[in-house]
Amino acid sequence: MDIHQPPAAPSTALAPGVSEPAAAGSQNGPLRNIRSSAFVPVAVFVVLVVLFGIGLTMNPRIIPSPLIGKPVPEFSLPPVKGRTLGLSSADLKGEPSLVNVFASWCTACREEHPLLMGLKEKGVVPIHGLNYKDRPEDAERWLNELGDSYTRTGADIDGRVAIEWGVYGVPETFVVDRDGRIAYKHIGALNERVLQEKILPLIAKLRE
């Protein structure tokens, strides 16, 4: 018996385990990855711009020091060439004092030096000098020419002690209390306003 089957309809079956939504999605997946990859640099750029903008509004002279309220780092330095009294952490106890970080190659140090000389002449407060990364003969010549405002000096030739003090640059000035703790830090050259509004009132308070 001859049996005729109707012609089979064209097959539209998909590969096993693949459905139409999945097939369509497989085409969009790479596009989504490309878009995500392109978004990351843009987001990073925006964050950096925001952080940069915030940084511009900050005053580097009022950056808080992590050493405020803490004892000065332990150190002992020989005096600047031509001087007899060196500087150590033990010398910073007994009465409030200033520690001024200076160098002969520092222009701003020259600008503030007359104020330090004035404080010395009036006997307001002992001032100690931390000479930062200076050549011995240059530091000696600088003090001889401009006047020596310091009770004691420490020659920090390699800058190690200044790093322990958290020094950002020169000049910087620290107020140290009678117990040898750092009470205040000023970044940059001193001026009359800072002396009258910050440093001298603090010295008076520390002496009470």
Closest CA relative to residue 125, chosen from 59, 53, 66, 184: 184
Q: Are strands 172-176 and 152-156 parallel, antiparallel or unpaired?
A: unpaired
Q: Tens digit of pLDDT for each residue in 81-103? A: 999 999 999 999 999 999 999 99
Could you tell me the residue ranges of all domains in the chain?
17-58, 63-206
Amino acid symbol at 95: E
Report the SS3 class of residue 180: coil
Question: pLDDT at position 67, please?
Answer: 86
CATH code assigned to 63-206: 3.40.30.10
For position 13, what pLDDT does the model report?
45
pLDDT at 65 over 80: no
Computed over every residue of the chain, the mean pLDDT equals: 81
What integer pLDDT is reported at residue 66 of this predicted model? 78
Q: What is the pLDDT of residues 108-151, one digit of tens each?
A: 999 999 999 999 999 999 999 999 999 999 999 999 999 999 99
DSSP assignment, residue 12? -
* pLDDT > 70 fraction of the chain, expressed in percent and rounded: 69
Of 203, 166, 175, 172, which Cα lies nearest the Cα of 190?
172
pLDDT tens digits, 6-50: 444 444 444 444 444 444 444 555 555 555 555 555 554 444 433
